Amino acid sequence: MRMIQYPQKNCLETIKNKIIALENIAWPQDVIDTTFPSAPETYVTSFVLMEKDMAVCHVGVRTRVLHHKGEDYLAYGLSEVVTRPQYRKKGLAFQAIETAVRFIIAQQPDIGIFTCARESVALYTRCGWEAIPGACFVGGASEKPFCSDSLKLVTMMMFLSAKGKQHRKDFENADIIVELGENQLW
């Protein structure tokens, strides 16, 4: 099995199709946009574990400047984390997430942020993320916000810069609004 990293905008069509096929296992086609990447202005790179000619695990990395309580933060986050069912519980997602985390840290952002299902919190915590009490990640567009609470997702964060660490408490019990585009959420 090999890990491939590539910038989203330079993804080969064959790899795009393999990632879309992998994502369709986790999310029905009528729910996700089958274009890849779905929001190219926020995507930075992807990490894909390939076995022969099949995508087994995928982790996307996104970025955006986040305006929160009078401060601007360079934010990076995970997106579209998915592993084929028959490859789960083998440490592959952990490996891909750890690789993505090292990449994020190397970019020197203020914070890392994304959402996940409650049952995945332990996995992400092992990779250095922390669940933020009472935080609601609000993506989407200003005229049509998309709230993590509506999907019962947990907001996970890393505080990486001195500024991010200093303002950690500002993110607890707060709506964290990131203009991502309609129906977009990390």
Is the C-alpha dihedral spanning 86, 79, 19, 144 positive or negative? positive
User: What does the domain layout of the chain look like in residue ranges?
Assistant: 2-177
- Asked whether the beta carbons of 124 and 100 are under 8 A apart, the reply is no
Q: Residue 37: its pLDDT value, please? A: 63
Dig out the tokens for 180 from the structure.
């991502």
Helix (H) or strand (E) holding 97: helix 92-106
* pLDDT tens readout for residues 12-30: 677 777 877 888 877 665 5
- Asked whether the beta carbons of 43 and 61 are under 8 A apart, the reply is yes
* pLDDT tens readout for residues 97-156: 999 999 999 999 999 999 999 999 999 999 999 999 999 999 888 788 888 888 899 999
Cis bond upstream, residue 37 (ω within 30): yes
**pLDDT(10) > 80:** no
**Residue 7 CA neighbour count, 13 Å, CB half:** 3
DSSP-derived letter for residue 120 is G
| 163 closest CA partner among 67, 53, 72, 47 | 72
170 phi, psi to nearest 5 deg: -65, -20
Domain with residues 2-177, CATH architecture: 3-Layer(aba) Sandwich (3.40)
